[in-house]
């Protein structure tokens, strides 16, 4: 069963054009198994069906990785940090930590059991570049080069809550469904939406996009 799951994940990763070695594919499969197991007790996600978790969580999050990796390639010499806000069960933060080992990834959530799960997943998967914070994002002391979220809040609330956590020259990467034109229209004037990137999620018949933003200079 585990080998079959790894083959499904390998096919998904190949379809998305993501570079991944065997160790990374194995970690993704182990993470998905951990998420399914813990979810039975700790209610990390509302989805219970493994097939739905594969498409609506795993594939949905992995579809954002190629654009993120292109953004990282523009700054290859830097040790960059990423914050996943409202990370829940580690989506997409844990997957980013697996596939972008050059990034220092922090996941923050206000629910203690979700932060505890991410810490456990990081330990079991040997992800030294992954941290989990049980806190409100406003309480964090650090600044981050990239701040991401997935179905966390409106764009206006997202940038308002995380603006003080964004490093100089930092970027916001918001994962959204249908292009949120109404949300974009009410963003403050000092926020620059410089790219809206449509995403194709294998096996998911729904609109997805990334909203890339930065402070307006």
SS3 assignment, position 19: coil
Contact criterion met (CB below 8 Å) for 38 and 18: no
- What pLDDT is recorded for position 204? 93
Read off the tokens for 189.
Answer: 């004037």
pTM of the model: 0.95
Encode the chain (217 residues) as per-residue pLDDT tens digits. Answer: 467 888 999 999 999 999 999 999 999 999 999 998 888 787 778 667 777 789 889 999 999 999 999 999 988 777 899 999 999 999 999 999 999 999 999 999 999 999 999 999 999 999 999 999 999 999 999 999 999 999 889 999 999 999 999 999 999 999 999 999 999 999 999 999 999 999 999 999 999 999 999 999 8
- What pLDDT is recorded for position 217? 82
- What pLDDT is recorded for position 46? 63
Q: Which of 4, 21, 96 is nearest to 58 (CA)?
A: 96
Read off the tokens for 160.
Answer: 């308002």
């Amino acid at each position: 069963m585990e080998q079959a799951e790894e083959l499904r994940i390998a096919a998904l990763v190949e379809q998305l054009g993501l570079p991944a070695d065997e160790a990374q594919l194995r970690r993704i499969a182990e993470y998905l198994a951990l998420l399914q197991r813990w979810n039975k007790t700790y209610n990390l996600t509302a989805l219970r069906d493994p097939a739905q978790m594969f498409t609506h969580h795993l594939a949905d999050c992995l579809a954002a990785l190629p654009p993120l990796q292109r953004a990282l390639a523009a700054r290859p010499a830097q040790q960059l940090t990423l914050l996943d806000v409202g990370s829940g069960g580690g989506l997409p933060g844990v997957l980013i930590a697996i596939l972008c080992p050059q990034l220092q990834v922090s996941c923050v959530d206000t629910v203690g059991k979700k932060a505890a799960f991410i810490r456990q997943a990081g330990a079991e998967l040997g992800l030294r570049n992954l941290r989990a914070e049980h806190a409100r994002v406003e309480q964090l002391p650090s600044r981050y080069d990239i701040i991401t979220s997935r179905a966390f809040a409106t764009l206006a609330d997202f940038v308002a809550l995380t603006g003080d956590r964004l490093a100089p020259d930092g970027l916001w990467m918001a994962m959204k469904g249908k292009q949120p034109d109404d949300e974009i229209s009410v963003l403050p004037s000092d926020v620059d939406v410089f790219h809206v990137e449509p995403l194709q999620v294998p096996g998911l018949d729904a609109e997805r996009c990334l909203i890339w933003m930065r402070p307006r200079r």
